[in-house]
Amino acid sequence: MTMQALIEAFPNHIHESLSIAREQVLSIPNKAYSEIMISGLGGSGIGATIVSNWAAGHASLPVIVNKEYRIPAFVGPNTFFIASSYSGNTEETLQAVHEAHKAGATVVCITSGGKLAELAKEHGWGLRTIPGGNPPRACLGYSLTQLVAIFVQQGWLPSNYIGVLENAANRLKESQAQVSQKAQEIAARLNGTLPVIYAETLSEGIAVRFRQQINENAKMLCWHHIVPEMNHNEMVGWADKHPEILVVSLRNPSDFKRNRLRMDIAEGIFKQREAQTLSIESSSEHPVEQALEHIHLGDWVSLHLARLRGADEMEVHVIDFLKGELSKH
């Protein structure tokens, strides 16, 4: 499939993944867990960051996102460990899940197959199998939805999150043409600039997703930071004029009032430094709707930006080269 077809299929992926969650019932030990750890990288791991943002106001235990080979020393028999690898062969995730199993953690896997699926079957871990064969970044709808389903099953997210997810996917499907048009306009502004993406702390997942899609699809460097943290360090780095930068502020109606004020004041500072600014605000009230709105728009932006730059949105040769070199050692 083309990247455009995969982006258009994002709402369908959510619906399909919900069906998978209903069909592939997980039998999870009923015990008092002390923490939740989700291990995954790149397109397989961004869903973990987003769900951890959502769970911050609901889960009664900490949610830790691991993007490393190693796991913290506190992981043990009371840890609920989720390994997310689209291919099932991500070496960092395989190492981390091996260590988690060795530590006695309860393990659940989200994958399309590969070594991770083999290990899950061998050890009797919980397993959710999603469709494979596409770039992991284009299949966020599958992995993100599985995480939501698991969190709802365990009571770490409210049960209505499933319905909200379904309704949000329906709205995205109905608004594809308008979203693509808006994305074209944003891409035209981003083309030829150095994008800098800011969002408040509980929206960091969508900022990371936006950055990753610009990196991988449009083949552009950019960076992101969060408010209020960046007000205490990165803001001082804006000492010089930067006409090459376009600051993208991702905003939501639910953003904390003081953070909104901080972003307003910061935008004035960026303009004084001759940077361009662009504020993108979601129109929804629920965190799931807000995130999906930003994610889908950002995916379309990255596609149009790739085409403006004459880049192949599907190729990731440098990642393939890196993996090839790693395999020699």
Q: Which residues of 47-72 are buried (b: 16+ CB within 10 A; e: fewer)?
A: bbbbbbbbbeeebebebbbbbeeebe
CA neighbours closer than 13 Å in the CB half-sphere of residue 76? 5
Spans in the chain with pLDDT lower than 50: none
Percent of the chain with pLDDT over 70: 100
Report H helices in 135-175: 140-154, 160-174
263: part of which helix (H) or strand (E)?
Answer: helix 257-272
| CATH 3.40.50.10490 location in the chain | 3-168, 175-309
Q: Does residue 323 have an active-site annotation?
A: yes
Which entry of 121, 123, 241, 323 is annotated as an active-site residue?
A: 323
Q: How far is CA 101 from the centre of its chain?
A: 25
Q: What is the pLDDT of residue 18?
A: 97
Active-site annotation holder among 23, 122, 232, 328: 232
Q: Work out the angle between the directed axes of helices 140-154 and 10-23 (0-180°, nearest 10).
A: 40
| Domain 3-168 = CATH 1.10.760.10 | no
232 tagged catalytic: yes
Number of H helices, E strands in the chain: 12, 9
Under DSSP, the state recorded for 23 is H
Out of 8, 35, 216, 293, which one is annotated catalytic?
Answer: 216
DSSP codes, 115-129: HHHHHHHHHT-EEEE
From the options 3.40.50.720, 3.10.580.10, 3.40.50.10490, 3.50.50.60, give the CATH code of 175-309: 3.40.50.10490
In this prediction the pTM is 0.96
Rounded to 5 degrees, what angle do the CA atoms 13, 55, 144 make? Answer: 15
